[in-house]
Each structure stands twice: as structure tokens, then as C-alpha cells.
A and B are shown apart, each in its own frame.
Chain A
């Protein structure tokens, strides 16, 4: 349920940084793959089974002389979880010991097609139908196609309400955007 507090969520600043308190005496090489591996430990705050990498919101990882620059794509413009995700990313990358910048960008729209195959599996296992046009939504519990959309709007901006006519289970589906 959306609460009044969520509706009045503050504006996140466009960037946040961390600076390591100690500088490593040796600077080990870091590559983008290592950063992405660590980002796999950062999960959607509401669906802890899916990582932000599998959710497709990690747009770019850049390693520069100044540190690590991460670009993330919000699923929805007004997503109230952005500050939490930003904080979790900064925390996850602390072991790398480099100054880190996290920015949200609209340059590339997040679309639900960015969710990885593993991400789709994890969503379904948690009872969420992966994003699809309404005619293609399947029940995450019994895989039935006999489902009906109750409302395009669900408990968060990115989800809709559905009902399965076969197993009689209400469920949520990600909105295709």
C-alpha cells in the first residue's frame, strides 16, 4: 500500500559519493566485471530475490583514475526506493576501496525488457509475473493463461494487480514500460 509518507518522498540529489577513509598502499586492478559481481549483492529493496543487475537498472560501470562511476536507470521516475538503492550500491562497493559515484540517468529509458532471464525466473519464484503485455501474462503460481487484470495500478508504481481464474490466486505483474 502506498502511504502518505511515500507520496511525499524527498527529491534525491542526482549524485552521491563515498570516499574511502584509508587509501590502500597498493592499488589492485579493478575491472567492470568485478564491480558488477559486487552489484549482484545489491537487491531490489522490495523484492530481495532479484539483484539490481538482473533487474536491468545498471546502465554503466566506468573505472577511471578518480574512482568508480556507476550509472543507474530508475524503473519509474518517481521511484521512492532510489535513495535506498544508491546507499546499498555505495556500501556494496566499499571493499574495493575506491571513491565511488552513483548517478541516476534518464538518458536510456529503463524498459522491462532489460530484466535478465535469471531475473524473470527469480521474479516468478517470488510470486511476481515478469513484465509482459496483459494478454501474455501468465500466473506465477500455476502458469495458467486464464488470468485477468484487476487494475493497472498496484502497491508500487511498477506493478499491476492480476487474478488467476484457475488457481484463484491474486498476484502482481510488473508493468511493461
Chain B
């Protein structure tokens, strides 16, 4: 770990950035794992389980980087499981209940495309993160292929499939930009080269990408930038409190449990 070359100010900003990315992957991973056993068809049951497993793996690796950076005695499990719901910093987009299949695909579509723009903004100056992101992007490519195929299928199917998918996209759209926020310290990350473009630039690229995909399907979404970068990742509601209760249940019933 080469965290020693990073100034204290940059380390604080980097920790916030790592926490937001880790919490995003962790929360969407656990949300998607709720489909294990009940997805519409067997292949999708397997696909969502595999995607969820990938995301939880990415979260674990990011929490490990964060644990090494913070060096405060907490390991990846402690960071993942031993916080109160208010302390999680995932994007507001991930705060909605799982909903139906169209809702899950709409959320994955907005998240995967935004996450891709975020990952493409990470520079190479801090090798522990750059190396991990290079590896993660090789896996996320499959998630994108999967969700783009579903977006196409649902939108072109017409009828109830299209109606539900479009309604879900429109319901989630006001929160979609929350993925591309850094709570604080973006200037320090840019100065250090840990990110190579501001998240506003990543968001512009993402909006163009979404329009290029949805336009040919006859869908227009309004994706306003998040008004408040802090509020975008705090104030989690009842849906997240329920999920938190699920994913911390073992850890709370047996403190320090590993499995």
C-alpha cells in the first residue's frame, strides 16, 4: 500500500470517494441478491446472483483499500457491517425498494452506465485503486452487456413490458445523477490526479451516453445534476433501513461473526 505519498487533505477526500464507491457496490449488490431464487427465469436468477456476487466482491476490495488508508483498526467487514444506516454513503438512486423486474433493470441501467463514467474518471497515480479499477472494469463490461440487452428487449417489447420499464426509468431519473457525486474534496482528488476529470464532466458524458442508447428506443429522460452532493448520499429512507436490517442481521446477532 502506497498511501504514504498522499497528503492528509487528499487522503480525506480519497477516503470519502472510496467509501461512496464501496457503499454503492455493496448496496446494489445486496439489493440484487434479493432476486436469488425468485427471478423471472432460471438464467436470470443465475445472472443476477452472479452480478450481485461481482458487486459484493468489488465492494469488499474497495473496503479493504479504505481500511488500509484509514488504518483505524477497522477491517473490511467492520466497515461494511458495523455502521448505523445513517453512516452509509451510497447514492440516493440505490435507496428505492427492489420493485419489479422492470424497476430492477431500470436501476441497473442507470447505475451501470453512470458507474462506467465514474470508473473511466479514475487516474493512474494511486496504483492500489487504479489496478483494482482496471480489473473491475473487465467484469463490469458483462454487467453492461446484460443490462443493455434487457433495456433493448423491454423497450422494444411494447405493451406492459415497455410501459413498466419506461415508468421505472422516469421514477428513478431524478435520483440517477446521485451516482456521480463526490461528497467533498473533489478539488484535492483532481489536483492529485486520482481522478482525471470532475464528476460534472463524467455526468455530461454519461447523459450523452444514456441519450444515445435510449434515443433509438424512443425514450427521452431528463437527468438533472444532483442539486446537493452531500444530500445525494445521505438521508437514506425506509427501503434502505429494511435492507440494512437484512444484511447486518448475522453480524448484529453475533458481533464479530465471520463466515
Q: How far is the CB of B130 from chain A (nearest CB, A)?
A: 9
Q: Do A175 and B57 touch across chains, with their CB atoms under 8 A apart?
A: no
A76-B57, A154-B50 are known contacts; what are 14 more A-B pairs with Cβ within 8 Å? Answer: A2-B36, A2-B50, A5-B259, A7-B29, A10-B258, A77-B136, A78-B53, A78-B55, A78-B60, A79-B57, A80-B53, A106-B61, A106-B135, A151-B47
Judge whether A177 is part of the interface by a CB distance below 8 angstroms: yes
Given A14-B64, A152-B145, the answer on whether A78 and B46 have CB atoms closer than 8 Å is no
Q: Please indicate the chain B residues that have their CB under 8 angstroms from the CB of A5 in the complex.
A: 259
Q: Digitize B145-180: 1 where CB-to-A-CB distance is under 8 Å, 0 elsewhere.
A: 110000000000000000000000000000000000
Counted as pairs of residues, one from A and one from B, with CB atoms less than 8 Å apart, the total is: 101
B25 → chain A closest CB, angstroms: 10
A153 near B57 (CB under 8 angstroms)?
Answer: no
Do B54 and A76 touch across chains, with their CB atoms under 8 A apart? yes
Instruction: Give the bracket for the number of chain A residues in contact with chain B.
Output: 20 to 34
Contacts A11-B75, A150-B43 hold; do A4 and B57 have CB atoms under 8 A apart? no
A18 contacts the other chain (CB 8 A): no
B154 to chain A, nearest CB (A): 17
When the two chains form their complex, are residues A1 and B46 in contact, meaning their CB atoms are under 8 A apart? Answer: yes
B94 shortest CB reach to chain A, Å: 17
- Going nearest first, the 3 A-B pairs with the smallest beta carbon separation are A78-B57, A153-B47, A2-B49
Q: Which residues on the A side are within 8 Å of B224 (C-beta)?
A: none
A157 contacts chain B at the CB level, 8 A cutoff: yes
Could you say which of A2, A109, A110, A152 contacts B53, with CB atoms under 8 Å apart?
Answer: A2
A106 / chain B contacts, CB cutoff of 8 Å: 61, 131-132, 134-135
Q: How far is the CA of A107 from the CA of B133 in the complex (A)?
A: 10
A177 close to B43 (CB less than 8 A)? no
Which listed residue (A77, A107, A151) contacts B139, Cβ 8 A? Answer: A77
Task: Give the shortest distance, in Å, between B69 (CB) and chain A (any CB).
Answer: 13
Chain B residues within an 8 Å CB radius of A80: 53
- B51 close to A (CB within 8 Å): yes
In the bound complex, do residue B77 and residue A157 qualify as a contact, i.e. CB atoms below 8 Å apart?
no
A161 close to chain B: CB less than 8 A:
yes
Digitize B46-79: 1 where CB-to-A-CB distance is under 8 Å, 0 elsewhere: 1101111111111011011000000000011100
CA distance A11 to B125 in the complex (A): 26
When C-beta atoms are compared, the residue in chain B nearest to A160 turns out to be: B142
Quick check: A7 and B54 within 8 Å, CB to CB?
Answer: no
Contact A11:B63 (CB < 8 A) given known A152-B145, A155-B46: yes
Task: Say whether A6 faces chain B, with CB atoms less than 8 Å apart.
Answer: yes
How far apart are the CA atoms of A4 and B32 in the complex, in Å? 12
Cβ-based interface call for B33 (8 A): yes
Chain B residue nearest to A104 (CB atoms) is: B61
Expressed in whole angstroms, the Cα–Cα distance for A1 and B29 within the complex equals 17
Residue of A nearest to B46 (CB): A153
Question: Which of A13, A109, A154 is the one whose CB lies under 8 Å from B138?
Answer: A109
Minimal Cβ-Cβ distance residue in B for A82: B57
CA distance A63 to B255 in the complex (A): 39
Residues of chain B within 8 A of A150, CB atoms compared: 43
Distance A80 CA – B56 CA, assembled complex (angstroms): 11
The residue among A1, A10, A111, A153 with the most chain B CB atoms within 10 A of its own CB is A153
Question: B63 contacts which chain A residues (CB < 8 A)?
Answer: 11
Q: Can you give 26 A-B contacts (C-beta < 8 A)?
A: A1-B46, A2-B46, A2-B49, A4-B33, A7-B53, A8-B259, A11-B63, A11-B77, A13-B75, A14-B64, A77-B57, A77-B139, A78-B54, A78-B60, A107-B127, A109-B135, A111-B138, A152-B47, A152-B145, A152-B146, A153-B46, A153-B47, A154-B46, A156-B50, A157-B57, A157-B139
Measured in the bound complex, the distance between the Cα atoms of B49 and A80 in whole Å is 13
Chain B: minimal CB distance from A74 (Å): 8
A23 to chain B, nearest CB (A): 31
Q: Are B134 and A78 in contact (CB under 8 A)?
A: no
With A151-B47, A153-B47, A175-B142 in contact, is A7–B36 under 8 Å at CB?
yes
Residues of A close to B57: CB separation below 8 A: 76-79, 157
